[in-house]
Amino acid sequence: MPGQEAITAQYDRVAPCYRVLSPLFLITPLARRRGVAALGLRAGDTVLEVGAGTGRNLPYLVDAVGPGGVVIGVDLSARMLAEAAKMVGRRGWSNVELVRADATALELDRHLDAILFSLSWSVIPNPVAALRQVWERLRPGGRVAVMDLGITETPLRPVLAPVARQLNRLGPGRPDARPWDDLAPFGEVATDRFLHLYYVCAVTKAGAPQRSSGSP
Ligand SMILES: C[S@@+](CC[C@H](N)C(=O)[O-])C[C@H]1O[C@@H](n2cnc3c(N)ncnc32)[C@H](O)[C@@H]1O
């Protein structure tokens, strides 16, 4: 796996054609919808996407939090973010903030209701450090979801491993990442695997205030 600088340079290079390349990586809208659904977002929420790239999840996130909510997208690649900014401009969203930063050193002065890592847990060299950086900002009861694709636990591993090696040149990542293990210290991890390739791992931050018995 290349270092951070090489990873960012490669995502800068592929940014203009990231959308066209997505089918090669078998990235489906279904997977994006499931990743966002795992966040349990409500209207008015503030959600952070770590490694937001060209903003392919923004339509789902903006839809989930509504006009009264806020979506923050952080990425280290200026060109990936430039593509996201074009989408924000085209759609006229005024509640999306794009921040260029290394997620492991992100200074965020906001309270968060949810945090999404979509296809980025396996790319960021130290994703646990990135999560630790914003964990204190997440409210009790708020969720972290990691949507990614990998070959660690699929019976198709022998077929997919050589393909993954080739695709890694285009979009570097760790197809053998194990976020379900990495996330265990943060809380109970629920993992949903689908299509033999995808997974969504979700953790709910402990300490949510008890609802009174009469409340819905
Ligand atoms: C495969 S792309 C995923 C983009 C988007 N989340 C999606 O679902 O299409 C991974 C992204 O992680 C970003 N990334 C890698 N290391 C990072 C870091 N340390 N901090 C912030 N973003 C990072 C890359 O620049 C790239 O845009």
Residues whose CB is less than 8 angstroms from the CB of residue 173 and which lie 6 or more positions away in sequence, other chains included:
1, 119, 122, 123
Mean pLDDT of the chain: 90
Provide the residue count of the chain.
Answer: 216
CATH number of the domain at 116, please: 3.40.50.150
Residue 112, beta-bridge partner list: 138
Q: Tell how far the Cα of 69 is from the centroid of ligand 1, in angstroms.
A: 23
Q: Report yes or no on 213 lying in a domain.
A: no
Q: Report yes or no on 49 lying in a domain.
A: yes
pLDDT of residue 77: 98
Q: How confident is the model at residue 144 (pLDDT cuts 50, 70, 90)?
A: very high
Give the residue carrying structure tokens 């070959």. Answer: 151
Q: Which of these, 80, 130, 136, 77, lies nearest to 105 by C-alpha position? A: 130
Closest protein CA for atom 10 of ligand 1:
120
Q: Report yes or no on 42 lying in a domain.
A: yes
3-state secondary structure of 129: helix
- Average pLDDT for residues 177-184, to the nearest whole number? 95
DSSP string, 39-65: TT--TT-EEEEET-TT-TTHHHHHHHH
Quote the domain boundaries for residue 134: 4-204
What is the number of domains present in the chain?
1
Residue of 24, 39, 72, 76 with the most ligand 1 atoms within 8 Å of its CB, for mutation: 76
Residue of 1, 5, 11 with the most ligand 1 atoms within 8 Å of its CB, for mutation: 11
Q: Report yes or no on 53 lying in a domain.
A: yes
pLDDT of residue 209: 61
> What is the rounded distance in angstroms from the CA atom of residue 46 to the CA atom of residue 199?
24
Residue 98 in this model has a pLDDT that exceeds 60: yes
Q: Report yes or no on 215 lying in a domain.
A: no
Q: Tell how far the Cα of 216 is from the centroid of ligand 1, in angstroms.
A: 38
Q: Tell how far the Cα of 122 is from the centroid of ligand 1, in angstroms.
A: 9
Q: Report yes or no on 209 lying in a domain.
A: no
> What is the rounded distance in angstroms from the CA atom of residue 67 to the CA atom of residue 125?
34
Q: Report yes or no on 101 lying in a domain.
A: yes
